[in-house]
Amino acid sequence: MVAASRKDLAHGSGRSGTPGAPLPSWRDGDIKRAILDFVGRVTAGPHAVPPEDRVAVFDNDGTLWCEKPMPIQLDFILRRLVVMTEQNPALRTRQPWQAAYTKDYDWLGGVITKHYHGDDSEVGVLASGVLAAFAGVTVDEFECLADEFLHTARHPTLGRAYLACAYAPMIELLGFLETNGFANYIASGGGRDFMRPISKEMYGVPRERVIGSSATLAWEAGTIVHKPELDVLDDGPQKPVRIWSRIGRRPLLAAGNTNGDIPMLQFAEQPDRPSLRLVVRHDDPAREFDYVAGAEQAIELADRNGWPLVSIRDDWATVF
């Protein structure tokens, strides 16, 4: 169902706008015009860019799918940590197992918000649990666990399946870009191997185009296993580095929603070619959530530099 709806949205059969027109879930206005103008300049006229250079990069959490009251992958990890506390009750007095066991989402959310404000004093504590949760698990086992979770778990407050928590306007944008010769990539602080099983189904993005955070992997006894060590945290300055390492091209379009996406957004600037930087602003408590914590600098830079600031409330006729 998700793949079918993604295809319908990409071809302009959404629930609003003119049937058959591009981006039907986007309200007419400055943001939609900026997107259409950008794609028009990239694909035709004196500033047209060769298809091989049409690269777009997207953050995932809060940009392509919902990230509140906590990132979807964090829910996946917390459930694993709770199982660990059942097997070893002594863990219940240690973070992050304690927060998982007691459902202390304020502590967990606070760690992430502090990170986006440049305070990583507790990131290592959270990371230690995240990495320990799947230590020794093979990549095949992890993929099966992630795939099952994403196809069965539901959002705790929106009352919808996690696979139905992708933003319809962004899925439309991905499809519209693909139709116009773009190669779309996901460049997320979330786990690469967590997103890969559903990236094609949800977004039409092949798994090999998913760039994300990762644990260290090792070859053991004929298979690849997760080690309790961080390989890379794909956030902040690491985002453009990883994009270049994986793609070897500067993107023409970048979309994000937090301070951690700023370097990626800046990397998309190409003075001699059309470029577009989109910042998603969460300001719709009726249909989604309303928050700016961890996004203050990104919003300020968008306003200062003229980057389109996408208001969920004002620019999206349909959210999910």
In a domain, 61, yes or no: yes
* Termini Cα distance of the chain: 14
In a domain, 143, yes or no: no
pLDDT of 52 over the 90 cut: yes
If asked whether residues 176 and 47 sit together in one domain, one would say yes
Distance between CA 312 and CA 319 in Å, rounded? 7
If asked whether residues 303 and 208 sit together in one domain, one would say yes
**Phi and psi at residue 51, to the nearest 5°:** -55, -35
If asked whether residues 294 and 177 sit together in one domain, one would say yes
In a domain, 282, yes or no: yes
If asked whether residues 205 and 268 sit together in one domain, one would say yes
| pLDDT value of position 19 | 57
Average pLDDT score over residue span 60-80: 95
pTM to 2 decimal places: 0.91
pLDDT in tens, 171-210: 999 999 999 999 999 999 999 999 999 999 999 999 999 9
Band (127; pLDDT cuts 50, 70, 90): confident
Distance between CA 70 and CA 108 in Å, rounded? 8
Distance between CA 291 and CA 274 in Å, rounded? 31
Distance between CA 62 and CA 246 in Å, rounded? 23
Range of the domain at 114: 72-133
If asked whether residues 175 and 119 sit together in one domain, one would say no
pLDDT of 14 over the 70 cut: no
| Residue pair 208/246 in contact by the 8 Å Cβ criterion | no
CATH number of the domain bearing residue 288: 3.40.50.1000
In a domain, 206, yes or no: yes
Minimum mean pLDDT among 7-21, 98-112, 115-129, 238-252: which range? 7-21
| Residue pair 298/255 in contact by the 8 Å Cβ criterion | no
Question: How many independent structural domains does the chain possess?
Answer: 2
If asked whether residues 196 and 232 sit together in one domain, one would say yes
If asked whether residues 196 and 308 sit together in one domain, one would say yes
| pLDDT value of position 9 | 55
Q: H helices within 59-162, ranges in order?
A: 72-87, 97-102, 105-116, 123-133, 139-152
